[in-house]
Structure formats: C-alpha cells, structure tokens
Amino acid sequence: MDKLVSMASRFIRCYSAGLLLMALSGQAMAEDSGVIERPVRIAIVNVATLLAESPQSKAANAKLKADYLPREEKLGIEQKAIAQLEEELATQIEVLPEEERVQRERELREHQRNYSRAMEDFREEVRVARDQAIDSLQTEIIQAIGEVRERDQIDIVLRESNYIVASDRIDITAKVMRYLEAKFQQKAPATTRVPMPAPDAGKQE
C-alpha cells in the first residue's frame, strides 16, 4: 500500500502545481485588464494524510488484502514445501538409487516450475489490481480537493511539498477528510455507517 500512496502522491503533486499556475495566470490577466477582484484565497492540504488515512484508501488496502492474502499465504506454504523437498533430496542424494534420484529430481523441477509460474501470475494480478486502486484513489482525492476548493471559493490549494510554512488557519486537510468520509459513507450500506467526527475549530471555513 505504501507504493500505492507514493504513486498517487506524485500524480497529485503535478495536479497541484497545475492549479497554482492557472490561478496565478488568471490573477495576472485580471490585473492587466484593470479589473479589481477580491484577494486571492490560498489554502493548504496534506495530500499524504488523505492518501494514507482516508476511508477510501483504507478500503482499497483492505480489499487488496482480502482478495490476495489467501493466495499469498498458499504460495508461501508451497514455497516451504519445495524447500523441504530440496533439503530432503540433498541429504539423501548419495544413498538413493539412480532411478529414484532422477525421478525425484524431475518431480522437484516440476514443482519449482509450477511455483514460479504461479508466483509470476500472482504478482502480475496484484500489480494490475494495485494500479487500478491507485487510479481510483487519485480520482477521488483530486475530485474531493477540487470540490471543496470550488465550494469554499478558494483560488489556490497547495500540497505539503509546495510550501515551507503556513498557518493552520488555511489548512483544509481536515475539511477535505470530512468530505471524503461523507462521500464514503453515502456509498456504504446503512449498517456499516459510523458517526462523523465534529468539524475542527480554527481551520479555514
């Protein structure tokens, strides 16, 4: 899941930079045309926190584990069984009749090939599933940040890697997190919904 969060984080970093350039370009055009507009509103958001702690991220991680952990454990058992066969053959190879030795070596190689193919297929399936989860998570995080920005009439939203220091007053991380939680609960069955946390005081509204 750490890899999932890292890849999604890099994508959103590029998206945030694009929003900043668009907002600054729009302000420059307004100044050049002589139009007086309200001051630019800037907010910050900790994308890493959203990627790691949002219910969407936790649900994606839980689904990957539920879908692939049983197969991973089964492959682990097969790997141990092959290692045991290798050890037994190594300790008995000097005393085994040649015909039996050849047969057991052949069987061991077959087990090893089957395991290698199964592991390769497993890793490819996990990679594809993880990439799909990344795409879905990126889309939801970006959409939530964009919708909160538009709703609150914020001009620029900077992520944690795009500034040095900022006031907590303009930090909308908790607000976006609540927005994501609300959207997640809207999709969840009624029996699985949990009470939403109270809004944080002192943050930008």
d(CA 48, CA 6): 8
Whether the model clears a pTM of 0.85, i.e. scores above it, the answer is no
Distance CA 103, CA 71 (A): 29
Residue 54 amino acid letter? S
- Is residue 64 within 8 A of residue 129, CB to CB? The reply is yes
Among 80-89, 118-127, 141-150, 192-201, the least confident range: 192-201
Q: Where are the domains of the chain?
A: 2-192
CATH of domain 2-192: 3.30.910.20
Closest CA to 2 of 36, 44, 67, 51: 51
Please give the structure tokens belonging to residue 51: 């990627």
pLDDT digits (tens, 9 = 90+) for 109-162: 999 999 999 999 999 999 999 999 999 998 899 999 999 999 999 999 999 888
Q: How many residues belong to the chain? A: 205
pLDDT in tens, 6-32: 555 554 555 555 544 454 555 555 455
Q: With cut-offs at 50, 70 and 90, classify the pLDDT of residue 35.
A: low
